[in-house]
Chains A and B, each alone.
Chain A
Amino acid sequence: MHKEYLTVSNIVGPLVIVEKIADVKYNELVEIEDSRGRLRRGTVLEVSTDQAVVQVFEGTVGLDIDKSRVRFLGRSQQLPVSEEIIGRVFDGSGRPRDNGPQIIARKRLDINGSPINPDARDYPSEFIQTGISSIDGMNPLVRGQKLPIFSGSGLPHPRIAAQIARQAKVLGKEEKFAVVFAAMGITFEEANFFIEDFRNTGALERAVLFLNLANEPAIERIATPRLALTCAEYLAFELDMHVLVILVDMTFYAEALREISAARKEIPGRRGYPGYLYTDLATMYERAGRIKGKKGSITMIPILTMPEDDKTHPIPDLTGYITEGQVILSRELHRKGIYPPIDVLPSLSRLKDKGIGAGKTREDHADVLNQLFACYARGKEARELALILGEAALSDLDRLYLKFADLFETEFVRQGEFEARTIEQTIELGWKLMRQLPKKELKRIRPEYLEKYYSPA
């Protein structure tokens, strides 16, 4: 058995300090039994010859100094996995919450994972058709990409994420796939929305859920996404499945991390978040990808709500620095009643270039995309100018661009929540809008494609 310590000297926020210890290791899993026999878990954040700082997942409410019993388990936190994990629902610490049995472990995996050797990575290049024009046409997603949604409170990110999960497919392929869903700090209603949607489409049977809801311990959220990603790695790289991971809401995750950092009295970085937030997020986001010689893949859609809709807030900012692009939602479009309110200009897919084009989507896709961006940007500029000086002050050409921007929002971006457009339809829609403009304005399109596609078929 493991040695037991009754030497807690300090309890600060989510942290417990244990004294007079021996043979304790950094990042080791800890079990704490309170005076009523209830067990909690934690990990060692820092250890010196006679003292360990332990972060308690379930929080420290009800713990006391003299009766808490602490055991160091000699290993880091693990997730038991087997094929049986598919279709199951767990809490934020990985315990079943669906009244099902414990998973009989085929393997126990360290939830922190190990970095993928950069030399082992296969470059993601398979186009995923989500059926959403503002994504497929403008910021295409590929298998193995990590593409977050930057949202704001009250914006319809759950509906968009669910629509992607429902409609996403790789053209011309039927392969084993799974959804891994991790909820951190979201409400029961929001979580339930996803679960019902997965149930209705039959995806639930191929999903694994890890739920830490708003009323559940905040510190547990540190482990939740790691459990989900460990599960995803198992499904993708050992069972050859194509896994879509949805992490929602990364903002609450980062707040939990901030709480721990504050309790440790670390020097805070921007807005009180710890200086290592970037590294911490990266060790999770970088678990998405493809590996040479492996069939499966991990595609990741982390969702976060930007505090005050501010993209420069540390959480979206650092996320954007790590992920392979971002889909940004706009409150302005939402107010105009446009669903999905995707703001295409600041949105970006960094991996699109090898995922689109002849044989993948369509030969003219890259040019169309570049041209639509340029035209919409110019149209929005014209709209701003018209606001200041009145529409009459615009040149004829700028008026055309203004009209283009309006149509782009109402016809291209706007679509039904259950409308799945093919990539062909999306590109054609782009051409339909571009025909509003004189041919010679379309400078980003190669002459041969202009010849071929500008005049309506």
Chain B
Amino acid sequence: MAKISEKKPNKNQARRQNIYMDYGAATPVDPRVLKSLSRFPSEFFGNTMSLHSFGRKAKAKLEESREILADLINAEPREIIFTGSATESNNLALKGIASANRQKGGHIIISPIEHSCVKESADWLEGQGFEISRLKVDEYGLVDPREVKKLIRKDTILVSVMHANNEIGTIEPIEEIGKICRNKGVYFHTDAAQSLGKIPIDVKKMNIDLLTGSSQKMYGPKGAACLFVRKGIKINPILHGGGQEFGLRPATVNVPAVYGFAKAGLFCGKEMRKESEKLRKLRDKLIKGIKAKISGAFLNGHPQKRLPNNINFRFEFIEGEALIAKLDIKGIAASTGSACSSEKLQPSHVLLAIGLAPQKAHGSLRLTLGRWTTDKEVNYVLEVLPEIIKELREISPFKK
């Protein structure tokens, strides 16, 4: 929920904080990225498929972007396909592999905590006659690579396990899963929308065949994402048209957004170590502080194997939508997996998969930190949150 709009600012509002702790949902564009895009509309507007100088200029920017992002994950430029969103990349990965490898078989393995675009693509493929196996996860949301090994069959064509979970921040053992898949000759896709630019990724070392990345989760503009497709992989496009992006994503490329994505990637790559260190400190301070100040608070996700910017708690006797609204009143933007806040009025499938009963999934709070989070903001949250929890518990029938 964005800030509540009130026309006339009053004294109280002047003091109102504006703290963004929902970087996992969307990041603001880095001003440095914005600056690099300022000449785009007038200079690089050409269609990358045109043969004249205008087209060539745009094309050059596109290829430069490809190189930058390839570098970020240790891939070849030719292996980067630009798309319009992470949802599109994930759809292309699943459906594109499924349709191109039908001959070999129709069996696909996914984790139970995938983002809805992977989950729904798999469900759709299931309806088309493919067979989907869903892995288990433990209480932290971790996939067991041995289970992947057990589930792979002769007709398995793809394993898709996300790199880091968007809700609870757990980082999956991608390298091990990749190795198993490589040995078994099965393609391995990972959705890295939440991790790209935040933690190191090396597609060669990690044995990754396909990887999804998203611009708007790493301080780039919306409307750009990528799918890394290892050379030699058999995959079909899901859109048909001109020959752009090596025929795999035939549509006019959104070069400004793609270039912004690449620029953002450049900064993420350069500053990753320092930034993640800073965020990890703030994250751990929040986790420690919340545990110390609030009773009945439980961390969701893995304590160590988690994104440097992710905090996810469950509070007893608290419903998440009310909690988010209270935080919003105090000027803090956060998110929840509560049923009441979802359109279908069902709790998050991720929280159910890690074994939380629906009533428990109700009280979850996700705080995701980012480039501009400060120590002062963390202190403010630690000051305000216990009060809010107390207020909500006071009106709850469950309190003792």
Q: Do A and B come from one complex?
A: no
Residues of B within 8 A of A (CB): none
